[in-house]
Chains A and B, each alone.
Chain A
Amino acid sequence: MNPGKGFQKVLLCLFVSIILSGSMTSALLAIEPKEILTRSLEAQFGLDLEGIKKTKFRLPGRSYTTTTRIIRQEPDFTYTTTLAPAKLKRLVILDDGKFRIWHIRGSNKFEFFPSLNSPEAKEIKRKSLDLIFINYKISRLLDGYILARPVYVISLIPKHSGNPRRKVWIDKKTYLSLKEEDYNWRGELISSSFYTEIHFDKRFSKEKFYRDFPQRPRKKVFSQERFLSLKNLRRKIRFPVSFPHYLPAGYEFQEAVLFSKERAVKLTYTNGLGVICLFQMPPNIKLRGHLEGAHPLVWKKGGRTFLLMADISRKELIKIKQSVK
């Protein structure tokens, strides 16, 4: 036996085992894209930050760009001011975990919405994420950099054709989504939002943000009532409501909103990313205006007006319309 050859074999085995163990370790340490998305959802509520974000919308016949300054303070406080366009500079959005308050600075105008940081909203987001895991193929693309910060790049491709898709850039350290791109069912980019500046661990006194408000609003009666189950909606509602008996693959009921002022109802269905909204209005409500480029389905049945909006094919929209009973 040649001792040189034996030594070479030992060296080769050692080399192979090092390579194998290295790849196994990295495979073990590699974080699953699903886990990244889950952590990202939680991350929004656990960070103190100040950032500038640019959002671009491309809708049929329209496109807009807005620049906003965002301040987040854990656990559930968000303060947003618009920097551009100039027309919107007076707009302030404050979310304190209970209400989402829109205010035009220098005026007494307030608009109240349910908080996007409320437990109910978080529950909806969690359910949407579960649906994404079912209805989307989630893959991790090559890592990249956003604002010199290493990021995971996650792609969400629908398992059923004719649905929107998304690409997300998630900060490796904080799991905050630094960039998002949304594509419609045809594969066209419809919106993208990304931070152009971000500073973490910045603490602010929350009281400072209420200074923009002439009086700190304490209470508000919502003109909307939300129901997370159809059972609760049926119990509350005192006029006939129709439901779609056909939905594209993967879609499930998300929530119902009752507008007490107009006695209108919004039923929302989602597959995690895409949304189908069916509005129903009593006979005394007439629709005014039109949507440039967008083609929602509007029809009348039994005196009531129906409006169907979704980012899906026209064929599917018609199928849903025909199933509404």
Chain B
Amino acid sequence: MSCKKWIKKLSSYLDNEVSSRERSRIEKHLKSCRVCFNQFKQLERVHRLVQSIQPEKPRPGFYERLSERLCQKRTTLREKLVAWRYGWQLSFPGVGKIAIAASAVLLVSVSFYIWRSATSYEVNIKVFEEEYFRSQQMNSFVGELALPVFFEIE
């Protein structure tokens, strides 16, 4: 094994996170390798220094506030869509999905039709007079009689 790999394991060794077998192998290597031993000593110094630092205590009620804010975190639209799609996939079989989609389309169409039929339009009678003159114009020998122009004058 190269020194690079041994050095990577040093941090775990200092934190007592390696097996006893691995531990003895690392110790054996440290005795035989000067470079790794120097590296180990430096790490050991840093480790000791970090452990000597007294941790800063958070202000009273910090954890309660943090917990509250985490609960309030807004879910993004993407997250919502993913959640909805996941739920949709789980809830219905293929045929059921088609039936629901078709029903939705039908409902929208029927609503639109009822809305259109129920909505009454007011049309100015002059629109029909204009159409009448347009028909008269078709029978003229002169293409540019421009009969409907006078509606603009009004």
- Write the residues of chain A forming the contact surface with B, with a CB cutoff of 8 angstroms: 37, 40-41, 44, 53, 55, 57, 62, 64, 66, 68, 70, 78, 80, 82, 85, 87-88, 91, 93, 95, 113, 116-117, 121, 124-125, 128, 168, 177, 180, 191, 193, 254-255, 257, 262, 264, 266, 268, 270, 272-275, 277, 279, 281, 284-291, 294, 296, 298, 307, 309
Contacts and interface: CB of A to CB of B under 8 A. Distances in A.
Contacts of A44: 141-143
Contacts of B19: none
Interface of B: 116-126, 128-129, 131-132, 134-147, 149-150, 152-153
B145 A193 contact: yes
Contacts of A57: 147, 150
Contact of A70 (B128, B144, B147): B144
Contacts of A255: 135
Contacts of A285: 120-123
Nearest to A224: B131
A35 to B, nearest CB: 14
A53 B144 contact: yes
Contacts of A275: 132, 135-136, 138-139
Contact of A286 (B116, B121, B144): B121
Contact of A273 (B139, B147, B150): B139
A177 B142 contact: yes
Contact of B146 (A68, A117, A168): A68
Contacts of A264: 123
Given A44-B142, A66-B149, A294 B120 contact: no
A55 B95 CA distance: 68
Contacts of B137: 116
Contacts of A117: 143
Contacts of B150: 57, 62, 64, 66
A247 to B, nearest CB: 15
Contacts, number: 128
B75 to A, nearest CB: 42
B126 to A, nearest CB: 6
Interface of A is mostly: strand
Contact of B138 (A62, A82, A121): A121
B128 A193 contact: no
A288 B144 contact: no
28 contacts: A41-B141, A44-B141, A44-B142, A53-B144, A55-B147, A64-B149, A64-B150, A66-B149, A80-B144, A82-B146, A88-B149, A93-B146, A117-B143, A124-B138, A125-B139, A191-B145, A193-B142, A193-B145, A277-B135, A284-B116, A284-B118, A284-B119, A284-B121, A286-B121, A286-B123, A289-B126, A298-B125, A307-B128
Given A57-B150, A70-B144, A289-B126, 6 more contacts: A55-B146, A55-B147, A57-B147, A64-B150, A87-B153, A287-B124
Contact of B126 (A95, A272, A291): A291
B131 A279 contact: yes
Contact of A257 (B120, B129, B131, B149): B131
Contact of B152 (A78, A88, A257): A88
Contacts of B122: 285-288
A299 B92 CA distance: 55
A288 B124 contact: yes
A78 B144 contact: yes
A294 B129 contact: yes
A78 B143 contact: yes
B143 A287 contact: no
Given A68-B144, A125-B138, A177-B141, A291 B152 contact: no
Contacts of A168: 141
B118 A277 contact: no
B109 to A, nearest CB: 15
Contact of B120 (A191, A274, A284): A284
Given A41-B141, A117-B143, A291-B126, A91 B149 contact: yes
B64 to A, nearest CB: 61
Contacts of B126: 289, 291
A53 B144 CA distance: 9
A277 B144 contact: no
Contact of A254 (B119, B124, B135, B140): B135
Counting from the closest, the 5 A-B pairs by CB-CB distance are A64-B150, A177-B141, A309-B132, A284-B120, A288-B122
A287 B125 contact: yes
Contact of A262 (B123, B132, B144): B123
